[in-house]
Structure formats: structure tokens, C-alpha cells
A and B are shown apart, each in its own frame.
Chain A
Amino acid sequence: MSTESKSSIPTDSEIVFGILNNSENAIKRLYVAYFPMVMQLILNNNGTPDDAKDIYQEAIIVLYNKVKKGDFELNSKLKTFIYSVCRRLWLKRLSQMNRYGGDIHDFNDHLPVEDEVEEQGERDIQFTKMQSALQMLGEPCKTIIEDFYIHNRSMQEICESFGYTNADNAKTQKYKCLQRLKKLFFQQK
């Protein structure tokens, strides 16, 4: 990572293509480029640096998913989009904490981004449920499920790393684990 690329603000299309190509560098440049803007927004509206980090990362994830899904149209500037999402998220959090005085100190133009934020919120709920279901699942099920469904490892590899004598045993184990996980997941409110 050269300092040059860090300091220069990347163009919007660079970022979009970077995300589509899973470029680590693109995300990093994006992150570095707009973080001060979000810090300014949050810190001057009753927030802490940690709040800024949470909000900013959530906004980046919104952008990332939107780009990956292919429905991000470059008809507005990335900067404006990120700012709008952060602003929306922060307003939501302020009202949750009862700290919102009905007035926010703005530093940029912003767009209506309610839909994106709502969608993200719903997905976050699903992910939280999944996370706690996996926690409750325990070992070795958690690792087996993660290896197979998330990290795309083959049954053969899993079989070896867990020391199962044959692949059938491992498959049975994986099946049981998945059933348990489903149960745990849907049990949650």
C-alpha cells in the first residue's frame, strides 16, 4: 500500500469496479478517503469516535452489498451516498438512545436513503440471529457448518481435519448439525 494511493481520493468508478473485483486495495482507499467526513458528522452530533466507526462500517457494508447486487447506479457521488447513509443511520441511533434533539448539524448534501437503510436493518437482524444460533450450536458443529457452507471446504477435507474414519460419518454429523442450527435459528424471535 503506497502512501500515494492513500492520500489521493479514488474516483467513484475505481471503487465500484474495485468492489466488483474483490479488490482489497479499493476498499481500503474508499475507507480511508471518507472516514474523516463521517467522523466530522458523528463527533459534532453528540457521538464518539467509536460511534463513528460503527456507523461508517455499516454504511460501507450497505454500499458494498448494493454494488455486489449490481443495483448501484453512479448517478450520485459515492461521497454523497455514504454521507446520506451515515446520516440516516446516526439519526436512527440517536432516536433510539433518546439523544436526538430534532436537529442535526449537517456538513454535506444528502439524499433520501431510507430504503437502503431499512433493507440493511432487516438483514442485520437475520445475521444477528444467525450469529447467536451458531454460538449456541457449539463445537464441533459450528466449525463443520462454517467450513462447509461458508468457507466452501469439501467433505473430504473436513473429514480429515476432524479425524472422522469415513466420509459418511462426517456427512451424518454435518446433517445433524444443520438440523440443529435450523432449529436454533427459527426458534429465535
Chain B
Amino acid sequence: MRDEQLIEAIERYLGGEMNADARNAFEQLRRENAELDTRVIEHQQFTGLLKQYGERVELERRLNAIHQEIDVHAIAEEVTVHPSWIVQLWRDHHSKISVAASIAIFAVLATLFFTGYLNNNNSYTELSREVGRLNRSTTDMKKDINAIKKGARVIAAPDKSRGTGFAITSNGLIATSFHVVNGADSIYIQDVSGRSFKAKAIYNDPQSDVSILKVIDTTFRNLGQIPYTFKHSESDLAENVFTFGFPQDSPVYGDGRLTSASGLNGDTLDYEISVPINPGNSGGPLLDSKGNIIGIVRAKETRLEGVHFALKSGYLLNAIKNIPEDSLTKVPVLNTENALAKLTRQQQVKKIKPYIFMVKVY
């Protein structure tokens, strides 16, 4: 309690509220008592600081109020160096540009909305697939009808597996991969125009994965001069190569490079190629840019993307040599005259088309 009264006395003294007598007495006391003197100075400083703090707060409030009235943005504009005319343009016209952009976006969205683009896309794609399927079945039917007209046999039952094969002689010897025809009850080949011919395997070489088929259908006609030749030597790396086969109902062209002279795990039977191939490409020819057969497409590495393999043509030539003579009416003579070398790729593909077959296995 004493301390409280002391503070009150100090405040009255500092505030000049004491009368002359009391004031003199207090000053006397202050001179005698150093402790009291310190307390007075302390209190004076602290309340002074409080007072100054209050003034500062007030001054800051006033300055802020003044600041509110200033157009800071305009001043900032004035004193900064403008970087370029495009920024200037944006600053001057950004509201107009914004409005224009909004209208444009709105118009695009509205158009998309009314044309149904934003509606569920799924029905759209499904429909297209439906149309595709209908189309395909219609062409299939047409092909069948054509085939019937020409008296060829119509294959009605669905096939077990499919591959690709290519003619090695004009009288109906077809090369394909052994794994395509392995375990077949019967084999049919179908050309690009949809005609099917019955064939049988006359030579199988499971080791190098080659099979030679012979067309035994009576409706089969001589194919005419084979346009491509067979390469005896190995091809060089980075050679531009292409293939042509039947991963689907219509023939598919694919090209790439010869990327390695050996296949999976260093298998020297194979080339590694970067041609995109799919199931159904197996047994198809691999040609170089001059139109030489350099291999038979046969496998892909499933764990790696873009790594595919083709059997080297040397092994195909070996297989042809090894065909038992009793299954042949005459010794096969391979074409040695290349009709493709000087053609463009489009012309090459057009030319070889009739000699590539889909191999259907039942």
C-alpha cells in the first residue's frame, strides 16, 4: 500500500498538482533520499515513453490518413521507367483486352456446348467403333460374295491364329514363321483382295523358326514375276528397313532401322530392329530400302518398348535349300532380278502387296 501512495505522490509532484509547501517538502525528501530520487526519475522516464508512444501512434494514424488520399498507383506509374511498349499497351488497355478475351472464351465455350462437344465423348467414340465394325463386316461380306462368284472356297469358321507370309516363288511357295503354323490342323492363305487358298507346310525348321508353305488350292493362279530378291549377306547396322504384314484385317506398313546384328541375349539368328510390329506381323518379310528381303519378322521383347526381332534371310535361304525334293514338283528358283531398287517407298509397297499373304491357321 505504501508503494501505491508513493507513486501517487510522485505523479502529483510531476504533474505539478502539489501546493508550494508540499512541493518543497517533497523536494527536500528527494534530495535526502537517493532511492526516492531514482524512483521519481524512473517513473518520469517510463510515463514519458508511454506518452511519446501515444504521440507516435497518433502521428502514424494521421500519416496513414493522408496516405489514403494519395493516388499511389498514379505516382508509381509516373516515376517508374516503362519497360516496353507492350507493357504500356497492356497497362493502357488491359480492361478492354480482358473483356475481349472473356467474350472470346465465352463464345468458344458456348459453341462447344451447343455443338455437343462438351457432352459425354464416350458415346461418340463408341459410335465410331460401331460404324467401323459395320463397315468391316460389310466389306467382309463383299469379299465373300466376290470370292463365291470366282468359285473360291469361303472360309466361314473363325481362325485360330494369324500371321503373315510372303511368296518366294511365283508358283505358290510361301515363307512364314514356324511358330505361326505350329500345331495347325489346316492352313489357309489370304491375299490382299480377300481370296483364300488352302496351303500345307512342306518344310518346317523349328530351330530357326522358318516354315515353307505350298499352296495346294486348284483355284490358285501363278503370281507372276516376284519383284523382290533375297539377300545372302548380312545387312549393315542402321540400314533403313520396312515390313508389310497383317496385324489386322488390312495390311499394315511399318518402317524403322536395323539396330543390332544380334537378337535377344546375343542370338545370332536374329537382327534387332526398331520397326513397330504387333501380333500378326510374324512371318512377314523384312525388306531393305533397295527391296531386298533381309529377314522374317518374328518376335518382340515384351518388357521393352520398340525392341523387335527378325530372322536373318540367310537362314531362310538354307531352309529353302533343305526342302525335301519329293514334296516339290520342281526345284524352286529364286528371283534374282530386283524390280524395286529404283522405286519410291510407296511404289515399292504397292508392288509387293500382291505377294504378301495373311496366314490363317485352324
- Identify the A interface with B (CB < 8 A): 24, 27-28, 31-32, 35-36, 39-40, 43-44, 49, 53, 57, 60-61, 64, 123, 126-127, 130-131, 145-146, 149-151, 171-172, 175, 178, 182, 185
| Among candidates A60, A64, A150, residue contacting B54 with C-beta atoms closer than 8 Å | A150
Sample of 21 A–B contacts (CB below 8 Å):
A27-B66, A31-B66, A31-B67, A31-B70, A32-B70, A35-B70, A35-B75, A43-B79, A44-B79, A49-B76, A57-B63, A61-B59, A127-B52, A149-B54, A150-B50, A150-B53, A150-B54, A171-B4, A178-B7, A182-B46, A185-B46
Question: Does B81 have its Cβ within 8 Å of any Cβ on chain A?
Answer: yes
**Which of chain B's residues have a CB closer than 8 A to the CB of A123?**
52
Within 8 A of A (CB), among B1-47: 4, 7-8, 46-47
State whether A149 touches B79 (Cβ < 8 A).
Answer: no
Q: For B78, give its contact among A36, A53, A145, A151 (CB under 8 Å).
A: A36
In the assembled complex, the Cα of A127 lies from the Cα of B59 at a distance in Å of 13
Q: Could you tell me the distance between the alpha carbons of A44 and B47 in the complex, rounded to whole angstroms?
A: 42
**B62 sits at the interface (CB 8 A):** yes
| Complex partner residue of A28 from B7, B66, B75, B81, CB under 8 angstroms | B66
A107 to B67, CA, bound (A): 22
A60 with B63: CB separation less than 8 A: yes
B233: Cβ under 8 A from any A Cβ: no
A40 and B79 form a contact (CB under 8 A): yes
Ranked 8 nearest A-B pairs via Cβ: A150-B54, A40-B79, A149-B50, A130-B53, A175-B4, A31-B66, A57-B63, A36-B75
Write the nearest CB–CB distance from A42 to chain B, whole angstroms. 9
Question: In angstroms, how far is the closest chain B Cβ from the Cβ of A158?
Answer: 14
* A151–B7 CA distance with the chains assembled, in angstroms: 19
> Are A57 and B60 interface neighbours, CB within 8 A?
yes
Closest chain-A Cβ to B41's Cβ sits at a distance in Å of 14
Tell me if B80 and A44 are in contact (CB < 8 A): yes
Partner of A151, one of B54, B59, B70, B76: B54
Tell yes or no: B56 within 8 A of A by CB.
yes
Q: Please report whether the interface of chain A is mostly helix, strand, loop or mixed according to DSSP.
A: helix
Report yes or no: A53 in contact with B67, Cβ–Cβ below 8 A: yes
Residue numbers in A under 8 Å from B80 (CB-CB): 40, 43-44
The complex places the Cα of A36 from the Cα of B54 at a distance, in Å, of 28
Taking the nearest CB of chain B, how far is it from the CB of A69, in angstroms? 11
B72 within 8 A of partner (CB): yes
Q: How far is the CA of A49 from the CA of B75 in the complex (A)?
A: 9
Binary contact readout B64-106 vs A (1 if CB under 8 angstroms, 0 otherwise): 1011001011011011110000000000000000000000000
Evaluate contact between A57 and B8: CB separation under 8 angstroms. Answer: no
- Does B317 have its Cβ within 8 Å of any Cβ on chain A? no
Q: Is the CB of B8 within 8 A of A171?
A: yes
The distance from the CB of A184 to the nearest CB of chain B, in whole angstroms, is 12
Residue B49 at the chain A interface, CB threshold 8 Å:
yes
Least CB distance from A176 to B in Å reads 8
| Min distance, Cβ B197 to any Cβ of chain A, angstroms | 83
Q: Does B51 contact A (CB under 8 A)?
A: yes
Closest Cβ of chain B to A113, distance in Å, is 19
What chain A residues lie within 8 Å of B51 (beta carbons)? 149-150
Closest residue of B by beta carbon distance from A124: B56
CA distance A64 to B67 in the complex (A): 16
Chain B residues, CB < 8 A from A36:
75, 78-79
Q: Residue of A at shortest CB range from B62?
A: A27
State whether A175 touches B7 (Cβ < 8 A): yes
Interface centre among A35, A49, A53, A150 (most CB of B within 10 A): A150
Contact B67 A57 (CB under 8 A): yes
Shortest CB-to-CB span from B83 to chain A, Å, is: 12
CB atoms of A131 and B53 under 8 A apart: yes
User: In whole angstroms, how far apart are the Cα atoms of A182 and B45 in the complex?
Assistant: 11
Shortest Cβ gap from B73 to chain A (Å): 8
Asked if B63 contacts A27 (CB within 8 A), the reply is yes
Bound form: Cα–Cα A24–B59 in Å: 10
CA distance A64 to B8 in the complex (A): 32
Tell me the complex Cα distance, A150–B63, Å: 19
Residues in A neighbouring B4, C-beta threshold 8 A = 171-172, 175
- Closest B residue to A127 by beta carbon equals B53
